[in-house]
Every structure is written in structure tokens, then in C-alpha cells.
Amino acid sequence: MYSILLVDDEKTIREYLPIAIPFEEYGFKVTGTARNGQEALDKLSAIKPDLILLDIRMPVVNGLQFLEILRQGEFSDTLVIVLSGYKDFEYAKEAMRYGVKFYLNKPVDEEEIIPLLKEVHKELDRYNEEKSFDLLRKHINVLNDLYNGVDENEEVLRGYTLMTCVLLPCSQDFKCDRSYLSMQECLSKAIGGFKNYLFHTDNSQITFMLPHRVFEPFSNSKELFADNLLGVLGEHEINCSLLFDSYIFEHRENTFKEDFTNHMNRMLTELFFSSAKFIEYNPSRFKIGEKLCFESKYMDEIKQYFLLCNEDELLKVIEKLVAEIQRIHLEICRIKEISQRIYYILCDELTGVDDQDQAITSPDFSVLLEYPYFIPFNQWKELLFSLIHTSLDVIKYRCKMVKLGISREVIDYVQMHYKEQITLKQIADKFFVNATYLGRAFRKATGMNFNQYVNQLRITEAKKLLLHTDKLIYEIANEVGYSESKYFVVKFTEEVGKSPKEYRDQVI
């Protein structure tokens, strides 16, 4: 509701106009009146009007004198509607020198003032929005300086809250093409001028600095605001949680960057174990979790049992580790460190396997460390066990190949030449082996015949090219060893369950 100061020396107008015109229906309220320009000047500081209805002809200080003083002071940007009689036209033109754009003839008619009020309301909205964003940009700069260790006046930030949008997987299999771009499109609809609020980005998280006025339409409730925003995001199949922190601007414990990192760590830990959609920082709620005991012992046992390919004991250790992490609610930063240690154990033991044994799908260890979405506990556990099982499969496969006596040279040769038109007989002749024996060995070692083995290598390479290049499908077919692109499409669809085009489109 915008406030109006009505300035007119006629008592009937001061008393009649607020009753006769339905100001409140159009977003205005007459909060004060004055009999002349001097009285109006005296009331400016108390009323702080958004709009002044100003008569031109008045005693003591007339309308033009009032405008001259007004434009030199604190309220120089205040919008003014000049009330003038027919004979005051020259005075009205003079008012233009003081930036007055709106005029009404006396006596004021409802049909004339209503369209003018609507126009003024729009201008006030635009002005306040620009003013708010200008102020916000200054405060964002203050916040960035604080984050980078520059001393700044923090008092100006007390009217703000940090909101972090944490992108989550859309499904259990982590397949989701929603990204920052689609999230930002939705935020632009839900929060006007959202780009002005952007403060910080980190992997799956986007942090905004929101002025408290954005919560006003929601009864000043962050939770109601969050429910509305999550609804908008959900309509676009974007799954996320919202974290709020106004405490950081009200209480300082360390440097701003340290507090920001600590608060985020505690809220993300809560999110990791609870999968809550709305979290607001509260120091009494987010206690520092216990430390993980015997971490090195866990890692040593994981490495030992993995090397020995002792699946039962390895899974027992992983189960015990995961259960302890859940019991003590280990902080998310420590969970990332543990994931990193497991990552390096798996990588060290499987070095070279990925390049040599492409006949089966090797694990993508990087998902433990870098993922486009924040992964909650249950999905992290599922992902961890999936990687362990896949890694064990690779080790078992390698052992089986050795036991069956297939020469490493033969496998290496197939890996290097599968893009060519090779046959089982050509390989057998080259290495002086019986083709029938070689065929049986491939089937025992891989569970597939030679042609299936080569075909899977080609399909695996084709998947990479589809995802990471812009090459046409017939070009990819030729590159991986298929002379006919139609045959490639048939084999790819049989193997993957989707055509090459569908496979590429589902990820883009």
C-alpha cells in the first residue's frame, strides 16, 4: 500500500477527497494532509509519502515554492500529482521544471483520477524495484567482500537471508537432465529479478541472498515461501531442497567465509540423512557430529579384502562402515573424504584394467566425488555398493581370463583392432591357435562368443562418441567398425534398448 500526502488549503477537499475516491482499491492510502506547502514540508519526515497530491495556489508556501524546496531535499524523488484549476494552467506548466508529470483539474473527478492512480502505481512499482535491486547489488558486493575477507559494514545485511537451492536426482537411477539452466528459468518466474540475488555456486548448489520482503506475501514465513517455490520447481520436474540461513547475518562466530562454510556443512549433513525439502539453520539444532573411530582400520580392511577378491568380508566391512556413518551422523565433509579414500583404493587396484578389459562395463569412480546432484544417504549407499560390486566383477573377470589361459596378447590385440573388420579365424591364425579353442575360451571368459565380444566393444565406444562428440550416426558407425550404418543402428538398439539417436537425446 503506497502512502499519500494530500496538500490543499481547502478544508472540504482535504476531508472529502479521501472519502470520495476509493484510493485503497488501487493500492494507495491517504496517510496525512496539510493546509499549505510549509505544513507539508514539516510533515514529510514523519509521513514519508510515496505520492503527494499538491494544490498549486496556497498561502504561506505555494505549490511551486514547495516543489522547489522538495527537489533539493531528502524526498526529491517523490512523485507528485498537481491539482490545478483552469486558470492555473501557466502554473502547471511551470511545475514541469520540477519534474512533475501528472496533473488533475479541479474539481477532482473519480473517472479522471482512477486511470492516473493506476499509472502512478505502476511507476512506483518500477521505481521501487529498481531502487531495491540497486541496493541489493550494493549489498551483494558487501557480501562478496565479506566472503573474501574484506572488512565491511555487516549491519546492512541484517534484512537478508541466504537461500541455497540444492539440486537432487530426479529418480533412483540418478538419470535426470535437469540442470542449473532449467532451475534458473523456474527461479526467474518464482522470484522476480532472481539474477540480482545470486551470490554463490558450488557443484549442485546455488546460493541467493534474498531480502526479507520476498517473504511478505507468505505471511513472512520462509517455510510457506519454500513450499510455493518447490511447487513451481516440481512442475518442471526439478527436484531440490531449500536451505535458509539468516542467522549468519545476526551472529558472528568466525570469519564470514568460515561461518558460511560451517553452516552449509551442517545443513547439508542434515539434508544428507533426512532428505528434508526445507531446512533453516539453527545452531541449537545442528550439533557437530561424533568423529568416526577406526577410520584407517576400515580403509585397510577394504583394501585387503578387495585385493583378495573376498566379496563376503569386503561387503561386511562396507556395511559396518556405512552403519556407523549413519549412527553418528558423520558430517558431510568427512563423508566426502571417506568417499575419496575409497575412490583411490579402487582406482589403485584397477589401474590399467579399464583400458584392457573393455568387454565388461568398468565402474565410473568419479561419481563418488563429482556428481551434478547432491546425493542423499540412501542413494549414496546404493551407489557405493554398486561401485564395489562392479569393481569386484572386473577383478574376477581378470582372474578368470588368466585361469582360462587366454593370452594377454590376444586380448590386447582385439582391444586395439576391434574397429577393423577382424574375425575369430584371423586372430587364431595370427597367434597360431585353434579357432575352435579360441572361441570356447572367449565364451568361458566373457560369457559371450567372439562376435558378441567385439560387438560390445564397438557399442561401448559408440556410446562415448554419442555423448561426447557431435559426429553424425553414420560417421560413428564407420569409426567403431560397422561398414553399414543401418546394421549399426540395429545392433546398438538390440544391445542398449534405445536407438543411437534416442540414447544421445536422453542425455542432452
Confidence of residue 402 (pLDDT cuts 50, 70, 90): low
The pLDDT value given to residue 231 = 87
Backbone angles phi and psi of 342, in degrees to 5: -65, -40
The pLDDT value given to residue 301 = 93
CB-count burial class (<10 Å; 0-12, 13-18, 19+) for 67 = buried
Report the range of poorest mean pLDDT among 33-37, 95-99, 250-254. 95-99
Instruction: Output the nine-digit C-alpha cell for 220.
Output: 513472512
pLDDT in tens, 218-228: 899 999 999 98
The pLDDT value given to residue 176 = 47
Report the range of poorest mean pLDDT among 22-26, 146-150, 388-392, 411-415. 146-150
pLDDT in tens, 20-79: 899 999 999 999 999 999 999 999 999 999 999 998 888 898 888 898 898 888 888 899
Interhelix angle 450-468/485-496, nearest 10 degrees: 90
The pLDDT value given to residue 179 = 56
Q: For all residues of the chain together, what is the average pLDDT? A: 82
CB-count burial class (<10 Å; 0-12, 13-18, 19+) for 463 = buried
For residues 489 and 482, what is the distance between their CA atoms, to the nearest angstrom?
10
For residues 399 and 311, what is the distance between their CA atoms, to the nearest angstrom?
14
- Helix (H) or strand (E) holding 79, with range, is strand 79-84
Say if residues 288 and 250 touch (Cβ distance below 8 Å): no
Indicate if the pLDDT at residue 413 is higher than 80.
Answer: yes
> Which residues in 374-422 belong to E strands, given as ranges?
none
Confidence of residue 361 (pLDDT cuts 50, 70, 90): very low
The pLDDT value given to residue 346 = 81
Contacts for 62 with CB less than 8 Å, ≥ 6 apart: 36, 37, 56
pLDDT in tens, 259-304: 999 999 999 999 999 989 999 999 888 766 678 888 889 999 998 8
Triad 108, 111, 112: Cα angle to 5°: 55
For residues 13 and 263, what is the distance between their CA atoms, to the nearest angstrom?
57
> Considering the entire predicted model, what is its pTM?
0.57
Question: CB count, 10 Å around CB of 399?
Answer: 11
Confidence of residue 185 (pLDDT cuts 50, 70, 90): low
The pLDDT value given to residue 273 = 93
CB-count burial class (<10 Å; 0-12, 13-18, 19+) for 240 = buried
For domain 158-280, which CATH number applies: 1.10.3470, 3.10.450, 3.40.50, 3.30.70?
Answer: 3.30.70
Q: What is the mean pLDDT of residues 365-391?
A: 78
Indicate if the pLDDT at residue 353 is higher than 90.
Answer: no
Q: What is the dihedral of CA 172, 170, 340, 460, to 10 degrees?
A: 70
Q: What single string gives the DSSP state of each residue in 134-167? A: HHHHHHHHHHHHHHTT----GGGGTTEEEEEEEE
Indicate if the pLDDT at residue 494 is higher than 70.
Answer: yes
Q: What is the mean pLDDT of residues 390-416?
A: 71
Backbone angles phi and psi of 7, in degrees to 5: -120, 110
Handedness of CA 499, 502, 507, 508 (dihedral sign): positive
Indicate if the pLDDT at residue 358 is higher than 50.
Answer: no
Confidence of residue 197 (pLDDT cuts 50, 70, 90): low
> Which residues in 300-415 belong to E strands, given as ranges?
none
Confidence of residue 321 (pLDDT cuts 50, 70, 90): very high
Backbone angles phi and psi of 53, in degrees to 5: -95, 110
For domain 404-507, which CATH number applies: 2.40.110.10, 3.40.630.30, 1.10.10.60, 1.20.1260.10?
Answer: 1.10.10.60
Indicate if the pLDDT at residue 475 is higher than 90.
Answer: yes
Architecture of domain 2-126: 3-Layer(aba) Sandwich (3.40)
pLDDT higher at 406 or 388: 388
The pLDDT value given to residue 7 = 94
The pLDDT value given to residue 374 = 83
Indicate if the pLDDT at residue 258 is higher than 60.
Answer: yes
Q: What single string gives the DSSP state of each residue in 29-76? A: EEEEEESSHHHHHHHHHHH--SEEEEESS-SSS-HHHHHHHHTTSTTT
Indicate if the pLDDT at residue 396 is higher than 80.
Answer: no
pLDDT higher at 137 or 43: 43
Indicate if the pLDDT at residue 217 is higher than 70.
Answer: yes
Confidence of residue 100 (pLDDT cuts 50, 70, 90): confident
Indicate if the pLDDT at residue 338 is higher than 80.
Answer: yes
* Terminal-residue alpha carbon distance, the chain: 47
The pLDDT value given to residue 400 = 62
For residues 266 and 333, what is the distance between their CA atoms, to the nearest angstrom?
9
Q: What is the mean pLDDT of residues 394-399?
A: 70
Are β-strands 28-34 and 2-7 bridged in parallel, bridged antiparallel, or unpaired? parallel
Triad 499, 505, 507: Cα angle to 5°: 115
- From the list 42, 38, 41, 54, the residue with the least C-alpha distance to 4 is 54
- From the list 78, 84, 164, 159, the residue with the least C-alpha distance to 123 is 78
Indicate if the pLDDT at residue 199 is higher than 90.
Answer: no
The pLDDT value given to residue 369 = 58
Confidence of residue 121 (pLDDT cuts 50, 70, 90): very high
Most confident of 22-26, 107-111, 137-141: 22-26
